[in-house]
Amino acid sequence: MRIVIAGGHGQIALRLERLLAARGDEAAGLIRNSAHEADLRDAGAEPVLCDLESASVDEVARHLEGADAAVFAAGAGPGSGVDRKNTVDRDAAVLFADAAERAGARRYLVVSSMGADPDHPGDDIFDAYLRAKGEADAYVRGRDALDWTVLRPGMLTDDAGTGLVRLEASTGRGPIPRDDVAAVLAELLETPATAGLTLELISGSTPVSVAAKSVAGN
């Protein structure tokens, strides 16, 4: 498969790119900063310069032509303000979905956040983040031309992955290593029956491949 990843230099994206390269898939990562090109090549991915905050739908769609799947793993980051929560976590996700639809890349995975909700209350930056992610998720779930899956991990950690997770419509809160988030994304790409599902993810006791197949059968 050829998979195009938005936010290609992110911590989860780089892990995913390594997994895809290791199993023989072709990954391309959209990045804003040319200084990150070497990191993507080291991960086995093709770096593609594209700023989702300024690009047009047509421009992004060109990068998605011929792709079997698209993964939105971009984020404004913890040091950003409310404005960039909207322009990256919401607007860029909407743009990427529109571009995937235009390019015919039906399989579309979103790395969201547990608690994402367009009606989330509060005035803190994290509240704005959860609203932005919720609005983006709602938009993607309304696209009939996309075979979407929304993945909502719990608290992300840099602990070594265990390969054991809990992947369900509702898991309750908990931590999850970024290694295991990437592993679940890689498995979801090979489990098309998970299309149309919004899934929460935390550490658990079920192997990743079993968890993905199990939820696909629900």
Give the tens place of pLDDT for each residue, 48-83: 999 999 999 999 999 999 999 999 999 987 778 888
Cβ-contact 114, 173 below 8 angstroms: yes
Average pLDDT over residues 78-94: 89
25 backbone φψ class: left, alpha, beta (φ>0; ψ -120 to 50)? beta
Residues 165-205 have pLDDT tens digits of 999 999 999 999 999 999 999 999 999 999 999 999 999 99
Q: Which value, to the nearest 10 degrees, does the dihedral of the CA atoms of residues 164, 130, 151, 5 take? A: -110
How far apart CA 151 and CA 129 sit, in angstroms, is: 16
Assess whether pLDDT exceeds 90 at residue 218: no
